[in-house]
Amino acid sequence: MNARWCLLLLMYLSCSVWGIACAEPDSDSRSTEPSSETQARTGTARQANAAFSAQRAFALLEKQCAFGPRPPGSAAHRETRDYLFAELQKYANSAALQPLEYKVGTETLHLNNILAEFGPGLPPVTGKGQNGETLLLAAHWDTRPIADHDPKPENRDQPILGANDGASGVAVLLELARVFKAHPPPRRVVIVLFDGEDYGRTADDMFIGSRFFAQNLGKWKPDYGILLDMVGDKDLTLPIEANSWNANQAFTAAIWQRAAALGLAPFQQRLGPAIMDDHVPLINAGIPMVDIIDFDYPYWHTVEDTVDKCSPKSLEVVATLVISIVYDGL
């Protein structure tokens, strides 16, 4: 119940009440309608792009990896949760943990989605003007407990470091959080870092945090969302993810067309594979959601998914697209 309570507070109650309950309140951006002062302080895509630091984003990827592999149940998992939550509290209007328990066999996993809210505050109850729109930005912060695709059999029961599969998407969103604080977006943005994405041997015990999040939305729904997963590969290729396309073609096309308009070459205007990922539970809950993912990554689910396979430039390319959508809309 605690998880639902916290989430309902996030979605429905005043930010000040929620701020006391879950995070340090920020006295700005409290009203339902943005004040003229808030609008005057709204940032632009140009400002946000100038503020986004690829090197800082890459350092955030390295920082997560410095905790070691971060599978549920490990000390590194708990330390990373505390670190990520503290970072988001620095920058967000408000931030919250969404705890959940998940039973696998005789074991109970203690998981947390991490949420943070930015922009002009709660949307109007009725109508969807520009400022009533809410954009969800997502990534998973846990890492896989088993390197089951490692070419060496002796490595396959080892946990992965998850530099790309885990840390890369989170690194982009953490650096964006800092940018959003400095240059508030003109629309409400909710960042959610999902836990338990990469846990199980089969899909039955994966996407645990995102399924819980999707099942506990209540009446609140973001208007649309973007999932970042495996976006740090030095050799970045981002075809259109097929589950996103099949669910919402016009929306998905608009995202990739924006990437083309921005000249972001890694985004390829062709259909790639269908990936089971955290966007699927949200799509099933009726939220248009794209998965930006480079699945052409030879180190996927191996002990070789390490920092040296990733690059600041790749993180920046993805951030440039997200910034355009956050500040200029679709």
Q: Which residues bind Zn ion (CB under 5 A)?
A: 165, 198
Identity at 315, one-letter amino acid code: L
C-alpha to C-alpha distance for 14 and 127, rounded to whole angstroms: 19
Q: Are 195 and 140 in contact (CB under 8 A)?
A: yes
Which is closer to Zn ion, CB of 70 or CB of 81? Answer: 70
Residue type present at position 150: D
Nearer CB in complex with Zn ion: 168/320: 168
Residue number with CB closer to Zn ion (175 or 229): 229
- State in angstroms the smallest separation of the CB of 198 from Zn ion: 4
Task: State in angstroms the smallest separation of the CB of 268 from Zn ion.
Answer: 21
Residue 231 sits at φ, ψ, to 5 deg, of: -110, 10
d(CA 25, CA 273): 42
Least Å distance, CB 228 to Zn ion, is: 13
- Phi, psi of 260, rounded to the nearest 5 degrees: -65, -45
Minimal distance in Å, beta carbon 166 to Zn ion?
A: 7
Q: CB of 158: closest distance to Zn ion in angstroms?
A: 14
> Within 10 Å of residue 298's Cβ, how many Cβ atoms?
12
Q: How far is the CB of 301 from Zn ion (least distance, A)?
A: 6
Using alpha carbons, select from 247, 196, 199, 195 the residue that is nearest to residue 225: 247
Nearer to Zn ion, 40 or 203 (CB): 203
Pick the closer one to Zn ion by CB: 165 or 291: 165
Cα-Cα-Cα-Cα dihedral sign, residues 292, 8, 247, 202: positive
CB of 229 to Zn ion, least distance (A): 8
Q: Using alpha carbons only, what angle is made at residue 22 by residues 18 and 24, rounded to the nearest 5 degrees? A: 90
Q: Which is nearer to Zn ion, 58 or 297 (CB)?
A: 297
Q: Which is nearer to Zn ion, 29 or 302 (CB)?
A: 302
The nearest distance, CB 160 to Zn ion, in angstroms, is 8
Which residues lie across from 194 on neighbouring strands?
140
- Judging by DSSP bridges, how do beta strands 107-118 and 188-194 pair with one another? antiparallel
Among 29, 47, 34, residue whose Cα is nearest residue 324? 47
Which one, 165 or 233, has the nearer CB to Zn ion?
Answer: 165
Q: Any idea what the Cα angle at residue 146 is, between residues 140 and 149, rounded to 5°?
A: 95
